[in-house]
Chain A
Amino acid sequence: MTESDAAAEPLSLHRRAVAAAVTGWLGAHRTAVAAGTWAALAALVAVLAYGAVSTDGFLTVANGKAILASVGVVGIVAVGMTFVMLGGNLFSLSLGTTLAVSAIAFLDFLHLGVAAAAVLAAAIGAAVSGAQGVAVGAFGVNPIVVTIGAGALQEGVVVKLTGGRTIVPSAPLSSYRFLVTPLLGLPFPVYVLAGVALSAELVLRYTTFGRELYLVGENRRAARAAGLRVAGVTTAAFAVAGLCAGVAGILSGSYNQGASLTLSGTYTYDAISAAIVGGNAITGGRGSVGRTLFGAIVMATLSDLMLLRHYGTGAQILVKGVIVLVFVSLLNARRGGSDG
């Protein structure tokens, strides 16, 4: 449907415009994304309603705080995952492991001072993930394969270095107490998340890097032809993700008073779910940190309700899996041939 065609037949302009909006390439996708966002909102409302009606203690301030608290660490990882997804690299399956690695590093280096330990831990996270970004960006290797391999590699190195022990903080709690002290009734990580999310969104909207990331995610070939630094942008996106995982690891390790590989938990999948449910395009080029936060809140609310209703681990994972499947299909269905 072209402008000039519309101009040539003004009587049907309106009809054609509507047709274009509904059936055009972008039309289908935008409608799908819009539909997905409405669906997520509807899901949230439904969950809230169901919870309020069926479960005592759900719709209370205390519970609300609990939900926000649970978003904290996961949300930070999810913000990082957003950068990977926006750049058209699907997702990193090793961010959870990187979180654990950073946590171990942080606790182990605490005796050097909180600031130094934090910087080192975050830098390690950024470096480990950034290296994976090089493989994906410069050499075009499949990100899933690189990240699961790198994940296993990290695990091996960690076990070798730690002998499989849980690492305990190498300095007394007093030096890093502020990390685990609630502030105004909310856990510290929530504030860190707010800061991280805000900075991330600013970077995405107002820097060259952010703009290039969206463009590379939208159409890698065109980006290359336009002279954009595809490899550099991809590496940076992965490095940012690793940085976020590092920050999350610092917080998680502090809370836990100990760190080992098990700390990685389900962070990777939760972060991916948050990004997907929030409405970020899984193939890249569209989305934002705000969307991811929204997705994280939806998922956290759901988890909270399931916990209150004493759902087992299995049921929780099952529900999360179904949600991911449904949302991935809803938001990313395409018209036209799926040729390769």
Chain B
Amino acid sequence: MHLLGDGLGPGDGAPPEAQPIREPLHPRLPEGGPAAANARTALLRVEHLAKRFGAIVAIDDVSLELRAGEIHGLCGHNGAGKSTLVRVLMGLVQPDSGGVLLDGRPLSLRGARDAQAHGLAFVDQELSVVPALTVEENLFLGDTRAGLVRRRSSQRRLAGSALERVGLGGLAPTRAVEALSVGERQLLEIARALHRQARLLILDEPTATLTQVEIDKVFAAVREVAASGFGVIFVSHRLGEVLDLCHRVTVLRDGRVAGSHSVSDLDRDRLVELLVGEAGSEPGAARPPARRRRPAAAGTVSLRAVVPPGWSAPCDLELGAGEVVGLAGQVGSGASELLRALGGLSPKARGEVSLDGRTLPLGSVRAAIRAGVVYISNDRKGEGLFLGRSVAENLVASRLSSISRGGALPPRAVRGAAGRLASRVAVDPRRLSQPAATLSGGNQQKVFIGRAVDRERTRLLLLDEPTRGVDVSGRTEIHALVRLFADGGATVVFSSTDLEELLDLADLVVTVFEQRIVSKRPREAVVPSTLLAEMTMGGPEPVVAP
């Protein structure tokens, strides 16, 4: 089914600014080439793209069209297929079926330099400007068209004009990039793309970590880029921004195109509806509550004026034993920083946390562990598991001193402890001697959790995106585990970007947006569309910048 919106005629889909579409500059064509091409020729055409990873369908029959000069928004939940689509476009992943046409010619890329040569530029949150170099050096870094010798004077001039175009005109090209803010660095990357006369600019969640002022500058730069005849794909979960910036929006849901419309035909509610589906508008969600909410003993875990690194406002929470709290926040919202601070990983966190009346010192992992606080990171491969070691070893890694007798560690004791932990988290005991790398994502996560949690001693369990990279059955098991620990009296705080998971698991839903708490409400009172609006825009009404 080819979803390209509603009967597009020649006048539809034109940029609201009503600028004539100029001939896009192509690095290979001589300057001053033929006159403006047919305005209806699509710059980029995605046709029936599909990609599966094993049993998981990432995208299915996705098509869209992008004209030169158009800013095209791409929205969808995590897991809806946005990043897969982008990776196909950038040549990082090959599709199973369907194709991509750039200027009517099929596109197949083999890496960063290839993408650059075809005129594609990609800017995402993981910036690729090098902080140790100057602004100027970064602008011209790795330019495939450049010769060996740097012509400093002409570079200086070109740098000046490139910076002007993105609103960084006042920036000295000789400044070190490390002195620039994140927003300025992002603008620098866009300037680099401009300089390379890219034809298509893809921005993937670029504004998640920017201030409002920086966001305005980025938008101005993006509009300028589009006005020069580029095509821009703007991937974002921040719906307000998408409506503000884009000409057209394509919404992906569960790997398919849920809708592709001109922005003038959309408003916030309609957009949220497309994202969530029809079932998202009643309070309490469409599923029966997974477990009865236990009356929590008040004031067991208390956060007072807690300010994790990067947060703009202090956080106050009173949580009870056996309570499961879901931090609803998108990537970059600050939820992760809060969890890490509570887990003792942030020496610079401020504020007062107490557990059962005793103060929990912030900034030391070992002190946190001693106090019964357990933090499960969202990066289980880098910071969590020992992939080359056996599952058994991974399970017992945190409690070696309690298993050992006077420094000695008899293998029987290790096996015994590992076996007990494995059964607690429902990991097949036959896999105990295998390397942890051979487990599925879900099982790895269970091992990670199982290692950290001690039934008797754990008072506060902190989970940062507990089911990231885990399939459906693994997810169910982990949710069951979490409930089990909560029933045992521990307080659980987890962060998630997944509405379903939040509604499934949490007793209390706390929304985090732009490094502050936006709302707190019990699960029964949550309306999914409102929740999504708060996570992506700060609230159903646009948040006024301070």
- Per the 8 Å Cβ criterion, residues 418-473 of B in contact with A are 435, 437-443, 451-452, 471, 473
Is A176's beta carbon under 8 Å from chain B? no
**A165 touches B (CB below 8 Å):** no
Residue pair B389, A8 in contact (C-beta under 8 Å): no
B397 & A2 in contact (Cβ 8 Å cutoff): no
Residues of A within 8 A of B443 (CB): 3
B386–A219 touching, CB < 8 Å: yes
Which of B33-41, B163-171, B408-416 lies at the binding interface?
Answer: B408-416
> Which residues of chain A (189-248) have a CB below 8 Å from chain B?
205-212, 214-215, 218-219, 221-228
B11 sits at the interface (CB 8 A)? no
Q: Are A4 and B442 neighbours in the complex by a CB distance under 8 Å? A: yes
* Cross-chain contact A4 with B386 (CB below 8 angstroms): no
B366 interface residue, CB < 8 Å from A? yes
CB distance from B492 to the nearest CB of A (A): 19
Rounded to whole angstroms, the CA-CA distance of A210 and B408 in the bound complex is 9
Of B329-337, B350-358, B376-384, B535-543, the one with at least 4 CB within 8 A of chain A: B376-384
- Size of chain A's interface in residues, with CB distance under 8 A? 35
Report B-chain residues with C-beta under 8 Å of the C-beta of A219: 382, 385-387
**Set of chain A residues within 8 Å of B365, measured between Cβ atoms:** 224-225, 227
- On whether A218 and B404 interact (CB within 8 A), knowing A206-B410, A227-B365, the answer reads no
Chain A residues with Cβ below 8 Å from B439 are 3
Other-chain residue from B388, B404, B409 in contact with A29 (beta carbon distance below 8 A): B388
- Kindly list chain A residues whose C-beta atoms are within 8 Å of the C-beta of B384: 222, 225
Residues of A close to B388: CB separation below 8 A: 26, 29, 218, 285-286
Interface contact A227-B366, CB-CB below 8 Å: yes
- Let me know if B409 and A25 touch, CB within 8 A: no
In the complex, A56 has a CB within 8 A of chain B: no
- Please encode chain A, from 1 to 16, with 1 for each CB lying within 8 Å of some chain B CB and 0 for all others: 1111100110000000
Minimum C-beta distance from A29 to chain B (A) = 7
Does B54 lie at the interface of the complex (its beta carbon under 8 Å from any beta carbon of A)?
A: yes
Given A4-B471, A24-B437, A224-B365, check contact A207 B383 (CB 8 Å). Answer: no
Contact partner of A2 among B54, B386, B411, CB < 8 A? B54
Q: Are B408 and A4 in contact (CB under 8 A)?
A: no
A127 at the interface (CB under 8 A from B): no
* B451 proximity list for chain A (CB < 8 A): 226
A20 lies within 8 A of chain B by Cβ? yes
Q: Are B408 and A225 in contact (CB under 8 A)?
A: no
The distance in angstroms between the C-alpha atoms of A227 and B369, with both chains bound, is 7
Within 8 A of B (CB), among A278-295: 285-286
| A209 vs B407: C-alpha distance when bound (angstroms) | 7
Distance to closest chain A CB from B79 (angstroms): 15
| B55 close to A207 (CB less than 8 A) | no
Contacts of B137 in A (CB 8 A): none
Asked if B55 contacts A4 (CB within 8 A), the reply is yes
B interface bracket (residues with beta carbon within 8 Å of A) = 35 or more
Given A26-B435, A210-B409, A4-B385 contact (CB < 8 Å): no
CA separation between A178 and B90, bound complex, in Å?
72
Q: Assess the A212–B437 pair: CB atoms within 8 A.
A: no
Contacts of B181 in A (CB 8 A): none
Residues of chain A with a CB closer than 8 A to B452's CB: 226
Q: Is the CB of B471 within 8 A of A2?
A: yes
Pair B438/A24 contact, Cβ less than 8 Å: yes
**A215, B393: Cβ atoms under 8 Å?**
yes
Are A9 and B397 closer than 8 Å at their CB atoms? no
Cβ A228 vs Cβ B437 within 8 A: no
Tell me if B19 is interfacial: C-beta within 8 Å of chain A. Answer: no
B386 touching A215, Cβ below 8 Å: yes
Docked complex Cα distance between A5 and B440 (Å): 9
Chain B minimum-CB-distance residue to A214: B389
Give chain A residues whose Cβ lies under 8 Å from the Cβ of B387: 25-26, 218-219
B526 beta carbon closer than 8 Å to chain A:
no
A226 touches which one: B56, B398, B411, B442 (CB < 8 A)?
A: B398
Determine the distance from Cα of A207 to Cα of B365 in the docked complex, in whole angstroms: 23
**Residue from B369, B383, B411, B414 whose CB has the most chain A CB atoms within 10 Å:** B383
Is B474 an interface position by the 8 A CB rule?
Answer: yes
CB within 8 Å of A: which B355-373 residues: 365-366, 369
Minimal beta-carbon separation of B503 from chain A (angstroms) = 23
Q: In the complex, what residue of chain B is closest to A286 when comparing beta carbons?
A: B388
Please give the distance in Å from B422's CB to the nearest CB on chain A: 15
Asked if B101 is at the interface of the complex by the 8 Å CB criterion, the answer is no
Whole-angstrom CA separation of A8 from B440 in the bound complex:
13
Residues of B within 8 A of A5 (CB): 53-56, 440, 471
Q: Tell me, in angstroms, the Cα distance from A227 to B410 when the chains sit together.
A: 21
B397 touching A226, Cβ below 8 Å: yes
Determine the residue in chain B with the shortest Cβ distance to A24. B437
CA distance A8 to B400 in the complex (A): 37
Q: What residue of chain A has the Cβ atom nearest to residue B384's Cβ? A: A222
B527 at the A interface (CB under 8 A): no
User: How many angstroms from the CA of A112 to the CA of B438 in the assembled complex?
Assistant: 57
Which chain B residues border A2 with CB–CB below 8 Å?
54, 440-442, 471
Does A9 contact B404, Cβ atoms closer than 8 Å?
Answer: no
Please encode chain B, from 147 to 178, with 1 for each CB lying within 8 Å of some chain A CB and 0 for all others: 00000000000000000000000000000000
Closest to B410 in A: A206
Q: Are B437 and A25 in contact (CB under 8 A)?
A: yes
> How close is B228's CB to chain A, nearest CB, in angstroms?
33
Q: How far is the CA of A136 from the CA of B2 in the complex (A)?
A: 60
Does A211 contact B55, Cβ atoms closer than 8 Å? no
A322 to chain B, nearest CB (A): 28
* B128 within 8 Å of A (CB atoms): no
- A24 contacts which chain B residues (CB < 8 A)? 437-438
Q: Is B125's CB within 8 Å of the partner chain A?
A: no
Give chain B residues whose Cβ lies under 8 Å from the Cβ of A212.
Answer: 400
Instruction: State whether A285 touches B386 (Cβ < 8 A).
Output: yes
| Whole-angstrom CA separation of A26 from B411 in the bound complex | 24
Contact partner, B438, options A26, A29, A210, A215, Cβ 8 Å: A26
Counting CB contacts under 8 A, is B312 at the interface? Answer: no
Q: Can you give 21 A-B contacts (C-beta < 8 A)?
A: A3-B439, A3-B440, A4-B440, A4-B473, A5-B54, A5-B440, A8-B55, A24-B437, A25-B387, A25-B437, A26-B387, A30-B435, A206-B408, A206-B411, A209-B407, A214-B389, A221-B383, A225-B384, A227-B398, A285-B388, A286-B388
Pairs A-B, 6 closest by C-beta atoms: A5-B54, A3-B440, A8-B55, A2-B440, A26-B437, A218-B386
Chain B residues close to A by CB (< 8 Å): 53-56, 345, 365-366, 369, 375, 377, 382-389, 393, 397-398, 400-401, 404, 407-411, 414, 435, 437-443, 451-452, 471, 473-474
Instruction: List 8 extra interface pairs beyond A5-B53, A206-B409, A219-B386, CB under 8 A.
Output: A2-B440, A4-B55, A4-B474, A30-B435, A212-B400, A221-B383, A227-B369, A285-B388
